[in-house]
Structure 1
């Protein structure tokens, strides 16, 4: 039975649900009386979430009667608490039957009920009964190793629920009352008595201040400031990354990085030629003509595919991407080759250098502690821009500074010398999609690219020049979700030690798997079996030594239902990539499962 459309949840919570067509879970008809309130909207939302968690619990316990839940201990800076860990047999992928049922349940054009309002209750029942079983468990399983896809820490999920409930549009920063987090210095007591406070006589939202606080905390977590305060407790009070914002992901952050690089190098060249043309003001063609620029190239080593997309979006084109990797170690930047390309500046060829901090197939790094100072010197000499694509690799800077991670720290040392940095929060930080980070040393360049001209209604009130910048003037979007809040919650909840411990488990599991593959008679560890385990970050690349098995290896692994991997190619041959990125990792338990699955497949045994 179809119900009339409504925008008022109060009119939908008591609507009958057709169990014959939706297969409503039992929990849908048995709400928890302890959560009932006098507000129908609140009742509906509370019951919806309870039913969702019940349905997820049912979905993730389909592995069989031998499933046991392991409680993994998660250590905080000041206390301990337990996060529930999934058992080793919970399914990672939906069944074919679940996918078929979900697809058949989708509305069909031409059917009598197409676009008839079902009401909120029946719609929610449909989501849980028909669609939920057809979704993968990337956030629920510790062994979703396809792509670099993190899970969602419980505190991040709770924060994201708040984001949806309050639905802030974090776009314009209005001045806040003087005090901590306002971006303006506090006045002395005598001044406060004599002078009126600046700013409006009203308040709008703390969301922009929370976003800025989260970004400052990230900068400190990743040791990107390079200098500590007088007491040695943290970064200086004026971070060197004044252009800082959250984006939809590293792809959007790479777009900003190339846009800023294009703006900076072309405008500087035009200014040296005596012109006043800018890319933002006059367009790429006019600015290039004014400066005698015939090409803007992007130099990188095994750059992520999103760089080509970003280059297209900012008007440089896919062909602007030029690989300058070291022969035999293609993920590393060949600085001699970079210098040869930078020397073409005299010919009107300008350059943006993109450092891949975490190559997508191997997890290896383009530079090390010795390379970045030299690269910075070259960029300054030839007027180039340095952008770091650190989608997941940047977080190696948050690992403990212990002997086992010294090699990784050396590989990410010096990244603070870049002009701009892209990273993902929805990967290793384990906050919900979509969450990206962009940092820029040159706020004036970023605002030149992104500001909204001639829009008085979007302007924030004038105030301290060091105040928080309005997000719509330093990013792609004008309409923005409050995606900073889950990041803020994770940083506040876990702290340095908690995040370092979480990242350590990911790296140690990857190394345990790499050691197994390296020592196996059935598999080949890539890119080279001569590498040290200390070079392994969170990605393990390998292939089967048996060519026939290698052709179907990804399918065999995923068909086990106990883990999910993605396929790729290395040196023209198929390969398997395991990317460890979930907070749910348990090194001993998960390594045992991976070894069992890979061994069973190699010897032809059911796993």
Structure 2
């Protein structure tokens, strides 16, 4: 992977020119034609009019917005093959197609990359992204905590999937449900609204004087609340800083508390999870401690396009509780599907049909790029990618920390804490208000804007497999020196 990254010739501009955007906008076809233009004409229209107005995040390592990543050559090849063959991955039909088994191989290899035992995570599936994976995690957690509460309060078997949330809560003797977290990502609140828990159910139990760490006294007090069922959600690399919510024996303490009070542990690890491939060396100690003992969770989410640099629209979900996942997501009363699956699966290894363990019935073959990229680059390739990304992020942080015009955030942050996110501000208030616009107007690099302590801030998210530290730093220094003065 390093050799491929070195041979990559980066485009000089990350964003399209205003002229190209305006031209594309003027050429957009907004009315359905009666007679189609034909394949040759639409190919010219797409390539000549629209493509020049797309951003180039996949063509350059200098796009640092939204933890976007890029597409490795192996996954790009596989995605073309996936589209060309257009498999339907809803039912495991081993006599008809190898596609579901290839997906299972990709998920097994992904577990192995992250140092998880596949057998301990039998509920594993691909999703459209970490938001959908958070929906799966909260839906399974909701099922689990209500079942546990019902056992404690009377022994009746209660299922949200069967009775619905209000009736299941009534039967379980539960009045409230809560999601306990620390600086949760917005997608967690969105997922809570989808599964019927509501955004207001998300409660912050983080320490006030420490960035994104749990306040264990507040956590236990919340878990103790009577007639209340709880899901504990852990941010594995917070979006603004890249900081991890747990370290040392924190996960063990959380596991003990959740076992005591019948709570479910869900880890939102959209881009933090790949720190598990790092070597156990002093330079990465903060990071490897941040992902220590994640195997104690009940469910974990990740984004394939962030972690693995495969095409967008790829998340994954792992859970240790396949029975719960099947109870929630089982596709019932579809005789034509169930009969076909039963008729063709005799004598094959047990792989659940994907439509019975996830949201979608209609699923594209997003597993094939993952399969190809993991096979092409292996553990060492992804470790190399991760180390180069961290090296660049830390080089950026050092440069900002030594700058007379900018300041690294949070104030007092150590370079050893830097993962792949670098948060900063301009010291001059007037420049800071337009800092992101100044940087992005160069079209040489792209950063995303955010807020910190009520003020605008800028954020580098280093996520591309293509990065080379010296090459990228030369461009970044040039842009920051111009934008911050």
The answer, yes or no, to whether TM exceeds 0.5 is: yes
Q: Deviations along 1:49-89, whole A, 9 cap, x unmatched?
A: xxxxxxxxxxxxxxxxxxxxxxxxx44xxxx66764234x6
1:153 and 2:35 correspond = no
- Corresponding residue of 2:376: 493
Unpaired runs of 5+ in structure 2? none
Q: 1:295: how far off?
A: 1.0
- Corresponding residue of 1:7: none
Q: 1:357: how far off?
A: 0.2
Pick the aligned partner of 2:191 from 310, 316, 341: 310
Q: 1:107: how far off?
A: 1.9
Q: 1:531: how far off?
A: 2.6
Q: Deviations along 1:308-353, whole A, 9 cap, x unmatched?
A: 1100100001100111111122411222211110011xx2111100
Pick the aligned partner of 2:161 from 280, 290, 302: 280
Which structure features the higher share of helix residues?
2
- Corresponding residue of 1:541: 423
1:365 and 2:247 correspond = no
Check 1:122–1:293 CA distance in 2 against 1; reply closer, same or farther (3 A cut).
same
Q: Deviations along 1:83-128, whole A, 9 cap, x unmatched?
A: 64234x611011111111111111234xxx7353011110011000
Contact 1:369 1:412 (C-alpha < 8 Å) held by counterparts: no
CA distance in 2, matches of 1:367, 1:212: 30
- Corresponding residue of 1:258: 138
CA distance in 1, matches of 2:366, 2:209: 40
1:123 and 2:42 correspond = yes
Counterpart mapping for 1:387-466 below 5 A = 387-459=266-338, 460-461=341-342
Q: Deviations along 1:387-432, whole A, 9 cap, x unmatched?
A: 0000000111012333321221011101110000000001131000
Higher relative contact order (CA 8 A, sep 6+): 2
Q: Deviations along 1:137-192, whole A, 9 cap, x unmatched?
A: 01111010011001000110000000000000111113x4xxxxxxxxxxxxxxxx
Pick the aligned partner of 2:219 from 321, 329, 338: 338
Q: 1:599: how far off?
A: 1.1
Q: Which has the larger radius of gyration?
A: 1
CA distance in 1, matches of 2:303, 2:313: 9
Check 1:463–1:373 CA distance in 2 against 1; reply closer, same or farther (3 A cut).
farther
SS of 1:565 mapped into structure 2: strand
Pick the aligned partner of 2:365 from 476, 482, 486: 482
CA distance in 2, matches of 1:274, 1:151: 50
SS of 1:340 mapped into structure 2: helix
With the length of structure 2 as denominator, give the TM-score of the two structures: 0.96
- Corresponding residue of 1:586: 468
Pick the aligned partner of 2:448 from 563, 566, 576: 566
- Corresponding residue of 1:219: 111
Q: 1:370: how far off?
A: 1.3
CA distance in 2, matches of 1:221, 1:210: 16
Q: 1:582: how far off?
A: 0.5
What CA RMSD, in Å, does the superposition of the two structures yield over aligned residues? 1.5
